[in-house]
């Protein structure tokens, strides 16, 4: 099986790279330091079909396959992880709507998201429940023709900018993972409130929030898929999400390699460019090799996901996510080392790459969770 990019995919990569260099990089530091959400850049990205590019063409999207989406994600994060995250996450939850939602949900929300006119969020994690989805405590109780939702969600990307949320809640509280249901919840509903979390280590241009659901009432028709099937529906997208995070890790790691190489070719020490010292050359060689290995694994995972090889896709997605995220942090760390003291201050982006890379080892399942998944499929 080949994991080389097609001519069309390389053309997409070139477009995203140009967008990143011309539009994102010049303002990356500003958005990071001011923790500013890039509303205008999201709109520009939408004109290039870079917002939720997997949305089918019939709903106004680009209809990209998983590998092409991974290429888009990598290039956005190569330009800047925070802004790349803001653009790349605009459609969080749309996969659930696309696959399990009613047609009215798709017609109402997918075109708006693809056009950059609306954002979605996916409300899963809670203050006491991250990796353990089955343990969520948010409740949804039937009341006539409605459901009433109560609970708190934590670490919600797009929480304060989303127009609609996909909320996972317990409809059969004593049934564990068998009692979870997905709901489509407009964020302007009474009782829905989001508080921005802005003391993040990295990806500061993206939006993160705590979401509180206080007697939020939604019609029963807002159930996505079937009652008590939410966990099983969610499992359809774990491989997609982990492959996407792996692509993010490759992007920020490549940025670290680029910056280290550029600095090494400029910085002089002992009467020569530091790029001429073997110690520096070997560091950059190792960094570049790690990134290329991670990229190959991401492409392989994306191809399996696209082909619908469920068990194989899950295994390779976890491998890609584990390897790429771990290497990204190591590569970014070495990038700082190449810069020396200059890498420890904000005059250069090296320290930002390190801060941004760190999240890829945590969300969409920690490295430890990925190892469990891989071991389950190997042993």
How far is 49 from 307, CA to CA, in rounded Å?
23
Catalytic residue among 262, 334, 364, 368: 364
Gyration radius of the chain's alpha carbons: 21
CB 156 within 8 A of CB 194: yes
- Structure tokens given for 261: 């190489």
Phi, psi of 189, deg, nearest 5: -65, 145
Residue 33 falls in the annotated catalytic set:
no
Question: Helix 25-34 and helix 350-357: axis angle, to 10°?
Answer: 70
Q: Is residue 94 within a helix (H) or strand (E), and if so which, with residue range?
A: helix 94-100
Tell me, what DSSP letter sits at residue 129? Answer: B
Contacts for 349 with CB less than 8 Å, ≥ 6 apart: 28, 29, 255, 259
DSSP string, 206-263: S-EEEEEEEEEEEEGGGEESSTT-HHHHHGGGHHHHHHHHHHHHHHHHHHHHHHHHHH
Q: Taking the chain, what is the end-to-end CA distance rounded to the nearest angstrom?
A: 24
The C-alpha angle with vertex 194 and arms to 46 and 352, in degrees rounded to 5, equals 60
How far is 373 from 355, CA to CA, in rounded Å?
26
How far is 251 from 236, CA to CA, in rounded Å?
25
Residues with catalytic roles: 364
């Amino acid at each position: 099986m080949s994991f080389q990019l097609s001519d069309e995919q390389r053309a997409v990569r070139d477009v995203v790279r140009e967008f990143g260099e011309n539009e994102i990089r010049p303002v990356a530091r500003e958005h990071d330091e001011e923790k500013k959400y890039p509303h205008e850049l999201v709109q520009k990205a939408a004109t290039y079909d870079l917002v939720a590019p997997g949305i089918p063409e019939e709903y106004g999207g680009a209809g990209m396959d998983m590998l092409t989406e991974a290429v888009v994600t990598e290039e956005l994060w190569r330009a800047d992880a925070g802004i790349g995250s803001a653009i790349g996450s605009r459609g969080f939850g749309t996969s659930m709507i696309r696959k399990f939602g009613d047609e009215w949900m798709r017609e109402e929300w997918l075109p708006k998201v693809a056009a950059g006119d609306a954002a979605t969020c996916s409300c899963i994690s809670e203050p006491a429940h991250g990796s353990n989805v089955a343990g969520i405590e948010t409740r949804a109780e039937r009341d006539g023709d409605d459901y009433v939702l109560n609970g708190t969600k934590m670490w919600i990307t797009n929480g304060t900018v989303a127009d609609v949320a996909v909320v996972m809640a317990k409809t059969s509280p004593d049934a564990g993972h068998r009692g979870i249901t997905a709901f489509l919840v407009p964020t302007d509903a009474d009782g829905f409130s989001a508080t921005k979390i802005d003391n993040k280590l990295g990806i500061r241009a993206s939006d993160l929030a705590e979401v509180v659901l206080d007697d939020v009432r939604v019609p029963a028709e807002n159930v996505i898929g079937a009652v008590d099937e939410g966990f099983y529906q969610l499992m359809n997208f774990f491989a997609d999400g982990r492959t996407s995070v792996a692509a993010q890790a490759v992007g920020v790691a490549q940025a670290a390699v680029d910056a280290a190489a550029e600095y090494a070719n400029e910085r002089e020490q002992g009467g020569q460019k530091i790029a001429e010292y073997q110690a520096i050359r070997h560091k950059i060689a190792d960094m570049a090799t790690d990134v290329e290995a991670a990229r190959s694994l991401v492409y392989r995972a994306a191809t399996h996901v696209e082909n619908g090889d469920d068990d194989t896709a899950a295994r390779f997605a976890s491998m890609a996510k584990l390897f790429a995220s771990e290497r990204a942090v190591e590569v970014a760390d070495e990038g700082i080392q190449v810069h020396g003291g200059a890498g420890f201050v904000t005059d250069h982006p090296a320290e930002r790459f390190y801060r941004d890379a760190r999240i890829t080892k945590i969300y969409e399942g920690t490295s430890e969770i990925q190892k469990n998944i891989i071991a389950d499929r190997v042993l």
